[in-house]
């Protein structure tokens, strides 16, 4: 029987001799490599080197964390901050709730005594002193409100740092407790407060400038007041466009400050550079998430407030005071819901900024590869560095 007459088991014909091969040498099969080497891959192609573990050994892929270790699609980018809230609610929602409660308590503690004192003075004041007293009360109220505003700024800055740490550690598959998150965020609270204060001061100066224009117009003449109002509206539109542009370009400054240990100036330059090419994607994500949160808040709060008003009118249609209890209960429930929804909103929006930062670094600097390598080395028991440290080329000019 010749070589061509032999058949392999199952009836398949045997492959013919290989041209140039020594006489009697068998032809390479589908599971072997030319030259006598063996392989587990089809068609004799060599196997690629193992992705994980030592050569020739198998190791599980990196443990999945909060974010996939690849550049994020728009859907993942959009819903990832909500996943942050669901993944570690005790630490994330708890932090947001603490911030909202601190802000609310500070406002109540400062404003209520001032209003009681002011109304008492107005009731007992002589008619000729009433105008001066009202003007002084307005100025005093504005000064008093600076205290809760300052406390809210500090609380918001701290929450931003907490959520940045949560997103970063969650991406690596870690789940930190409430206290651990706050301790890590506290290390960078100084630069965070500085950045938040700069943004707040810029907003206050813009608002003060518009108010001053209207006041000057009102003092000058009715025609000047109309001109001032029109100028303020047109100027406000221009400032809004500018604010959207600058705000988007600098949106990831807090994440850079916390995770890269950068100063404010360096963080501003890094944020401006990393958002290059992704401005509309970043702006669209920020606006869409804000729209979702606002819509959800209105859906929850407004029906309860409206229901309370309807019940109050049904119980006391003549306004005798019988529906006061319903009004008080509705107000308290609405306040509680507002605090809870405010906590959720603050957490999600702060987490979104951190998620956008991670995604932009994956796209510009290959952070996904560094994160995967860090997870793999850590799970193998090897010491690892900080994967979020800025690359050596971070200070290079953008191309």
State residue 289's pLDDT score.
92
What tens-digit pLDDT sequence spans the chain (399 residues)? Answer: 444 444 444 444 444 444 444 444 444 443 344 444 443 434 444 444 444 444 445 554 454 578 888 899 888 888 899 999 888 999 999 999 998 898 888 888 888 888 888 878 777 777 776 767 777 777 777 778 888 888 888 888 889 999 999 999 999 888 889 999 999 989 999 999 999 889 988 988 998 899 888 888 888 888 888 898 999 999 999 999 999 999 999 999 999 999 999 999 999 999 999 999 999 999 999 999 999 998 988 888 888 878 877 877 777 666 666 667 777 888 888 888 888 999 999 999 999 999 999 999 999 999 989 998 988 888 888 888 889 988 876 554 443
State residue 19's pLDDT score.
47
Three-class SS of residue 320? coil
For the stretch 235-247, pLDDT in tens is 999 999 999 999 9
CA dihedral 29, 30, 34, 38 (to 10 degrees): -100
State residue 211's pLDDT score.
87
What global pTM score does this model have? Answer: 0.76
State residue 55's pLDDT score.
46
Tokens found for residue 263: 């100063």
Whether 81 contacts 355, CB under 8 Å: yes
For the stretch 376-399, pLDDT in tens is 888 888 888 889 988 876 554 443
Report d(CA 106, CA 30) in Å as an integer: 76
Whether 20 contacts 27, CB under 8 Å: no
State residue 56's pLDDT score.
46
DSSP string, 27-46: PP-TTB-TTS-B-SSGGGPP
> What is the phi-psi region of residue 260: left when phi exceeds 0, alpha when psi lies from -120 to 50, beta otherwise?
alpha
**Minimal CA–CA distance to 198: which of 235, 246, 238, 163?**
246
Q: Of all helices (H) and strands (E), which one includes residue 339?
A: helix 324-365
Measured between alpha carbons, how far is residue 349 from residues 3, 191, 297, 330, 354 in Å? 74, 20, 14, 28, 9
State residue 239's pLDDT score.
92
Report d(CA 21, CA 34) in Å as an integer: 11
Whether 251 contacts 285, CB under 8 Å: no
State residue 240's pLDDT score.
92
State residue 394's pLDDT score.
57
């Amino acid at each position: 029987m010749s070589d061509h007459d032999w058949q392999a088991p199952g009836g398949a014909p045997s492959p013919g001799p290989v041209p140039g091969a020594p006489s009697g040498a068998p032809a390479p099969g589908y599971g072997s490599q030319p030259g006598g080497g063996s392989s587990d891959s089809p068609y004799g192609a060599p196997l690629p080197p193992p992705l994980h573990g030592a050569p020739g050994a198998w190791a599980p892929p990196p443990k999945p964390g909060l974010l996939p270790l690849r550049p994020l699609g728009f859907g993942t980018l959009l819903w990832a901050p909500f996943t942050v809230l669901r993944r570690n609610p005790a630490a994330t929602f708890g932090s947001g709730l603490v911030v909202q409660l601190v802000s609310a308590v500070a406002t109540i503690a400062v404003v209520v005594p001032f209003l009681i004192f002011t109304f008492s003075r107005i009731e007992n004041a002589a008619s000729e002193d009433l105008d001066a007293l009202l003007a002084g009360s307005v100025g005093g109220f504005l000064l008093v409100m600076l205290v809760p505003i300052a406390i809210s700024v500090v609380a918001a800055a701290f929450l931003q740092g907490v959520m940045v740490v949560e997103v970063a550690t969650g991406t690596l598959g870690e789940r930190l407790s409430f206290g651990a998150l706050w301790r890590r965020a506290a290390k960078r609270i100084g630069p965070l407060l500085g950045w938040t204060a700069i943004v707040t001061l810029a907003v206050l100066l813009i608002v003060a400038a518009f108010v001053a224009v209207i006041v000057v117009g009102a003092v000058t003449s009715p025609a000047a007041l109309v001109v001032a109002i029109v100028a303020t509206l047109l100027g406000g539109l221009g400032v809004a466009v500018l604010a959207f542009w600058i705000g988007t370009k600098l949106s990831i400054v807090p994440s850079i400050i916390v995770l890269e240990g950068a100063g404010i100036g360096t963080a501003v330059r890094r944020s401006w550079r990393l958002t290059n090419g992704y401005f509309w994607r970043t702006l669209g994500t920020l606006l869409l998430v804000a729209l979702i949160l606002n819509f959800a808040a209105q859906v929850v709060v407004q029906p309860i407030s409206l229901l309370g008003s309807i019940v109050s009118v049904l119980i006391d249609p003549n306004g005798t005071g019988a529906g006061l209890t319903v009004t008080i209960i509705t107000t308290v429930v609405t306040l509680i819901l507002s605090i809870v929804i405010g906590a959720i909103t603050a957490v999600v929006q702060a987490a979104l900024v951190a998620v956008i930062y991670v995604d932009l670094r994956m796209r510009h600097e290959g952070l996904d590869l560094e994160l995967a390598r860090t997870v793999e080395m850590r799970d193998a028991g090897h010491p690892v560095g900080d994967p979020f440290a800025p690359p050596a080329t971070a200070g290079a000019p953008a191309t």
